[in-house]
Chains A and B, each alone.
Chain A
Amino acid sequence: MVGHDTARDVYRQALPVILVSLVAGLFAGTILGSETMRAGISEVPGLLLLLPAFLATRGGVYGSLGARLSTGLHQGLIEPRFRLDRRLTNAIVASFINGMTVSVFIAVVTYLWLTLLGSGGNLLQLVGIMVVAGLLSAVLMISVLIVVIFVGYRRGLDPDNVIGPVVTTLGDVFGVFFLLVGIYVVGVVL
């Protein structure tokens, strides 16, 4: 009975989820603290400025895709099959558009904020990094989410319970990693 758990019960139930996100956070932190990333942070003005917004967007975009697919499955509106169903493709395309739009938006706002602060920044560089990082996150998050939700659902797992940890864990770890890839790619191209 959830209403009458003691602090000890709550602690025991919540600890595994918290520990999973802790490990993910430490992985992301390790990438962030690495020599290459620190060099990138020093070289690219605005990278730390956009980091929290970029990470939060992963959660917002793909958490809601997961929730939408889960609701659709429960309502019987979509089937747990890898087929080109209109609802499924719409949900995927929409989350892709959301992710990319907001990534570019973050780059532009970061640039404007930097200009306002007078610290200077490179719009093309920021947009480039966010497009690469946003694109790679979209491909990874969408593929993993669909596989996890469909396979889980067919095996009797409630997707509602799985989406949160999957999105937080992958979003944090790969968000920071793809940011690093973005810095590298843009550094090579520009």
Chain B
Amino acid sequence: MTDGDATDSSSNASETAMPDEWSIPRIVRTMVPLLAALSVLQLVSGTVLEAYEAVLVQNPALLVLVPVQIGTAGNLASITCSRLTTQLYLGTYELDPSNPDLRANAGAVFALAATVFGAVGVAAWAIGAAFGGTLALGRVLLVSLISGMLLAVLVVVTSVAAVEISYRVGLNPDDTTIPVVTNVCDIAGVLILFAVVSVVV
């Protein structure tokens, strides 16, 4: 399978003109440093999780919240970023609190966060209770909703900042914003969750 990248590209005239985007070493060399750097960054949230190990093992409901928090943060961020970028290209985006598109995006993110994190709070409590957790429904719901809404604020702020900065610096926001903002929100999701946990629980 891995044989003859060189022979293949020389036998195909159309590929000799430009670097072969489909060669294994090229893909690996591009991706591995990036992925390695991102995973070192993710150790920040790992360190937080590790620090709360005792609380997490004791309260399965909180453990259930972890992947949901991370996943939803990234999803809300990627939706917001791609919408803002499209609006930027269409010329309807403007960094102004009265901008109707900006308000619509922000409003939708808050409404989505309220829906999702309300449902997640109840579900995490039920699953946690089934695993023998003792945390009350009110507590789990409070943790889920407060951390979720704080996350929504962060998603909106970082997405707008990322789009604004990459536009001013002259980078294509389609390439830069989603990886940066989703990773930032993944990590911040865990940090916010445990900041709230340490206050509420």
* B13 within 8 A of partner (CB): no
* B160 within 8 A of partner (CB): no
CB <8 Å contact, B183 and A29: no
> Of all chain B residues, which has the CB nearest A20?
B75
Query: Which of B22, B74, B108 contacts A87 (CB under 8 A)?
Result: B22
| B138 → A minimal CB distance (Å) | 19
CB <8 Å contact, B49 and A3: no
* One of A101-109, A140-148, A150-158 contacting the partner: A101-109
CB <8 Å contact, B66 and A105: no
Which residues does chain B contribute within 8 Å of A14, judged by CB atoms? 79, 108, 112
Bound-state Cα–Cα, A153 to B47, Å = 41
| A52 → B minimal CB distance (Å) | 4
Bound-state Cα–Cα, A30 to B123, Å = 10
Bound-state Cα–Cα, A72 to B87, Å = 27
CB <8 Å contact, A110 and B43: yes
| B99 → A minimal CB distance (Å) | 11
CB <8 Å contact, A21 and B83: no
* B45 within 8 A of partner (CB): yes
Tell me the B147-190 residues at the A interface (CB within 8 Å): 183, 186-187, 190
Query: Which of B50, B60, B79 contacts A33 (CB under 8 A)?
Result: B60
Which residues does chain B contribute within 8 Å of A57, judged by CB atoms? 35, 38-39
Which residues does chain B contribute within 8 Å of A25, judged by CB atoms? 67-72, 120
* B63 within 8 A of partner (CB): yes
Task: Say whether, besides A25-B68, A35-B131, A109-B39, A51 and B22 are in contact (CB < 8 Å).
Answer: no
* A168 within 8 A of partner (CB): yes
Bound-state Cα–Cα, A93 to B2, Å = 8
Bound-state Cα–Cα, A153 to B87, Å = 28
Which residues does chain B contribute within 8 Å of A124, judged by CB atoms? none
CB <8 Å contact, A22 and B50: no
Tell me the B97-136 residues at the A interface (CB within 8 Å): 100-101, 103-108, 111-112, 115-116, 119-120, 123-124, 127-128, 131-133
Which residues does chain A contribute within 8 Å of B31, judged by CB atoms? 60-61, 64, 94, 98
* B17 within 8 A of partner (CB): no
Which residues does chain B contribute within 8 Å of A136, judged by CB atoms? none
CB <8 Å contact, B1 and A89: yes
CB <8 Å contact, A21 and B187: no
Task: Say whether, besides A11-B112, A18-B72, A98-B27, A52 and B46 are in contact (CB < 8 Å).
Answer: yes
| A60 → B minimal CB distance (Å) | 5
> Of all chain B residues, which has the CB nearest A60?
B35
Which residues does chain B contribute within 8 Å of A64, judged by CB atoms? 31
* A181 within 8 A of partner (CB): no
Which residues does chain A contribute within 8 Å of B79, judged by CB atoms? 10, 14, 17-18
| A87 → B minimal CB distance (Å) | 4
Which residues does chain A contribute within 8 Å of B74, judged by CB atoms? 59, 168
A-B residue pairs, 3 tightest by C-beta: A7-B107, A29-B64, A25-B68
Known contacts A94-B27, A109-B43, then 9 further A-B pairs from the complex at CB < 8 Å, ordered by chain A residue: A19-B116, A26-B120, A32-B66, A33-B128, A50-B46, A52-B187, A53-B38, A87-B22, A109-B40
